[in-house]
């Protein structure tokens, strides 16, 4: 904007000219995110002040939408935003969003709905999203307003709003930002306003509406016709925002069992709904993966004892695409599919942790929290071995991709993968080595003090680990260190005399001793606690040679 436009904008008489200036500004700045020209001569202050002055005048109601649209565009740039924002401006945006209209006042909710202007309310919510995201001052002001009460009150009467989905999407975006960046708002919504219960109801209402719309898809390439609920794009966007807000509210509660009945009721109500969303279909694969990613993030904050709700027992006449031990495993298989997807897109990424940590955490919790889940995951991830001609980390199956991560430089991901595979092996060392190779498993076993063999926990005595005929035939040729067969090798000591063998052996000892003295390597042996212990000289290994781990 130039000086003439700002002068027109600052006037209060000719609204037609103001409208023309704003429309031109919006057209010319659809893709603009930085407004460096406004840093000159206090232009930024003048423009923002003029826009909010119009918003606060009833006489300017005809241009309120344009003013909000201009604020939305300008708020993409956080330059000087902290010094610009004031309480009056934030409360003005909250009022224009219609949030104060919905705070419980004993009036008929339909009255508040009639006062809601869709276009103005949506633009005001978009402005709040941008400003609260960029400005801690704005978030602090929100913490001292009734925006939380307004959001929760509106959640309860979405059914009364004809254009509820458009409003709902940006309500949830505002809620996500505030609960992510302000601990006091998060605590208030969770503990005082019962926000989790309201959000669960919103999730349930969208799911029921999708079912009532009657748009279903049949599962492909299956003998039985399994229906899939179809979620529209806007519905999917809203559900993702709700899940992100719920994740904020449940933050740090994933490993702690509920301390009172109210928390138990929340998880008991939430899990069947999440199971339903794991079974929906969307317009494209990317939307589906985004939905499952947000479900996975939320599940990582759910205690393991509630995971059995993802696989209810099949009742008479019920069908499922994947079943095991009389349970519907469709939702668990959807998580397995998402794990496969996550493993496929992460190779070479620097943010491997961000992509893999949530789903691996969920897999661990699921396997530990429910015996049927562990057994199902075992047969999917670690099926009986047949072809053992290649190392476990080579290939594109789930076992191969997970074994490859056992040597990942990202230690948290490596440990999650190792824990998952160890659980599926019923925490038996021999079985872990069998499926991963000792070289891949050594780090995890050393951390647990299991290098000498044994098992880490007690599981049911029944075992479904029956070796295939192909594995039994190849077993004598399997090198346990690499986890696969090795071709016959020429014996390097053949045709050597005993003196030559002794000479070569001592030469090797001297080489190791030199590397130890130079600090290149630090030899160790397995101590009584099953963990590696350093030794002073490699000859000590001759006194207590290492033993092969036993299952």
pLDDT at position 217 is: 54
Question: What is the DSSP annotation of 358-389?
Answer: HHHHHHHHHHHH-HHHHHHHHHHHSPPP---S
d(CA 53, CA 45): 12
pLDDT at position 168 is: 96
Of the CA atoms within 13 Å of residue 102, those in its CB half-sphere come to: 25
Sole residue written with tokens 């033993």: 547
3-state secondary structure 266-277: HHHHHHHHHHHH
3-state secondary structure 389-453: CCCCCCCCCHHHHHHHHHHCCCHHHHHHHHHHHHHHCCCEHHHHHHHHCHHHHHHHHHHHCCCCC
Residue 476 burial (C-beta neighbours within 10 Å; 0-12, 13-18, 19+):
exposed
Question: What is the DSSP annotation of 24-61?
Answer: HHHHHTTT----GGGGSTTHHHHHHHHHHHHHT-GGGG
The pLDDT profile of the chain, 551 residues, written as one tens digit per residue, is: 889 999 999 987 789 999 999 999 999 999 999 999 998 888 999 999 999 999 999 999 999 999 999 999 999 999 999 999 999 999 999 999 999 876 655 555 556 677 788 999 999 999 999 999 999 999 999 999 999 999 999 999 998 898 999 999 999 999 999 999 999 999 999 999 999 999 999 999 999 999 887 655 555 544 445 677 899 999 999 999 999 999 999 987 656 677 778 889 999 999 999 999 999 999 999 999 999 999 999 999 999 999 999 999 999 888 899 999 999 999 999 999 999 999 998 776 667 888 899 999 999 999 999 999 999 999 999 999 999 999 999 999 999 999 999 998 889 999 999 999 999 999 999 999 999 999 999 999 888 888 776 665 667 665 566 789 999 999 889 999 999 998 877 888 888 898 998 998 899 889 988 887 888 877 787 777 778 888 776 566 666 665 555 54
Contacts of 258 (CB under 8 A, 6+ apart): 264, 266, 267, 303
d(CA 56, CA 340): 53
Specify whether the CB–CB gap between 477 and 485 falls below 8 A. yes
Taking alpha carbons only, the member of 263, 247, 272 closest to residue 172 is 247
pLDDT at position 277 is: 97
Residue 492 burial (C-beta neighbours within 10 Å; 0-12, 13-18, 19+):
exposed
Label residue 221 left, alpha or beta by phi (over 0 means left) and psi (-120 to 50 means alpha).
left
> How many Å is the maximal CA-CA distance in the chain?
110
Specify whether the CB–CB gap between 451 and 533 falls below 8 A. no
DSSP 520: S
How many Cβ atoms are within 10 Å of 203's Cβ, its own excluded?
A: 21
In the numeric block, which tokens belong to residue 80? Answer: 């000087």
pLDDT at position 6 is: 93
Question: What is the DSSP annotation of 172-216?
Answer: HHHHHHHHHH-HHHHHIIIIIS-HHHHHHHHHHHHHHHHHHTT-E
Would you call 218 helix, strand, or coil by DSSP?
strand
Specify whether the CB–CB gap between 402 and 421 falls below 8 A. yes
Check the CA dihedral 229-232-235-236 and report its sign.
positive
pTM of the model: 0.88
**What Å distances lie between residue 216 and 193, 206, 211, 245, 340, CA to CA?**
35, 15, 8, 28, 25
DSSP 163: T
């Amino acid at each position: 904007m130039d000086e003439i436009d700002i002068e027109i904008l600052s006037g209060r008489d000719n609204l037609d000219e103001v409208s023309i200036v704003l429309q031109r500004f919006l057209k010319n700045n659809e893709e603009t995110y930085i407004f460096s020209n406004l840093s000159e001569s206090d232009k930024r202050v003048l423009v923002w002040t003029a826009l909010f002055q119009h918003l606060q005048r009833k006489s300017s109601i005809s241009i309120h939408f344009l003013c909000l649209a201009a604020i939305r565009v300008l708020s993409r740039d956080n330059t000087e935003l902290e010094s610009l924002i004031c309480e009056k401006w934030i409360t003005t945006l909250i009022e224009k969003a219609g949030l104060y209209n919905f705070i419980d006042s004993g009036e008929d909710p339909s009255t508040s709905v009639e006062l809601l202007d869709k276009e103005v309310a949506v633009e005001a919510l978009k402005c709040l999203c941008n400003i609260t995201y960029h400005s801690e001052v704005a978030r602090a002001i929100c913490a001292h307003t009734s925006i939380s009460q307004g959001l929760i009150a509106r959640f309860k009467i979405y059914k009364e709003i004809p254009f509820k989905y458009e409003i709902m999407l940006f309500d949830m975006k505002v809620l996500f930002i505030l609960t992510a960046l302000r601990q006091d708002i998060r605590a208030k919504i969770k503990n005082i306003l019962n926000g989790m219960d309201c959000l669960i109801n919103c999730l349930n209402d969208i799911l029921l509406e999708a079912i009532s719309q009657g748009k279903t898809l049949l599962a492909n390439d299956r003998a039985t016709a399994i229906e899939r609920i179809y979620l529209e794009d806007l519905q999917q966007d809203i559900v993702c925002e709700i899940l992100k807000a719920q994740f904020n509210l449940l933050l740090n509660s994933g490993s702690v069992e509920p301390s009172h009945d109210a928390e138990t009721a929340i998880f008991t109500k939430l899990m069947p709904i999440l199971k339903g969303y794991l079974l929906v279909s969307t317009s494209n694969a990317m939307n589906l993966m985004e939905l499952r990613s947000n479900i996975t993030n939320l599940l990582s904050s759910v205690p393991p004892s509630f995971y059995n709700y993802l696989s209810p027992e099949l009742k008479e006449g019920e069908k499922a695409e994947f079943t095991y031990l009389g349970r519907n495993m469709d939702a668990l298989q959807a998580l397995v599919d998402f794990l496969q997807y996550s493993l496929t897109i992460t190779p070479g990424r620097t943010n491997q942790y961000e992509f893999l940590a949530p789903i691996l955490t969920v897999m661990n919790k699921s396997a530990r929290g429910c015996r049927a889940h562990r057994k199902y995951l075992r047969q999917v991830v670690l099926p009986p071995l047949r072809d053992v001609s290649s190392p476990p980390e080579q290939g594109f199956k789930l076992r191969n991709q997970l074994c490859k991560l056992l040597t990942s430089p990202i230690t948290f991901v490596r440990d999650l993968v190792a824990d998952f595979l160890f659980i599926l092996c019923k925490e038996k060392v021999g079985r872990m080595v069998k499926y991963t190779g000792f070289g891949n498993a050594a780090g995890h076993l050393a951390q647990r003090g299991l290098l000498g063999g044994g098992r880490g926990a007690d599981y049911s005595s029944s075992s479904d680990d029956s070796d295939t005929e192909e594995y039994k035939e190849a077993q004598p040729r399997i090198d346990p260190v690499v986890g696969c067969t090795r071709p016959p090798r020429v014996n390097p000591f053949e045709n050597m005399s005993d003196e030559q063998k002794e000479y070569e052996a001592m030469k090797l000892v001297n080489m190791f001793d030199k590397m130890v003295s130079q600090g290149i390597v630090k030899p160790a042996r397995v101590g009584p606690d099953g963990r590696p212990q350093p030794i002073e000289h490699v000859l000590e290994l001759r006194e207590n040679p290492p033993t092969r781990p036993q299952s």
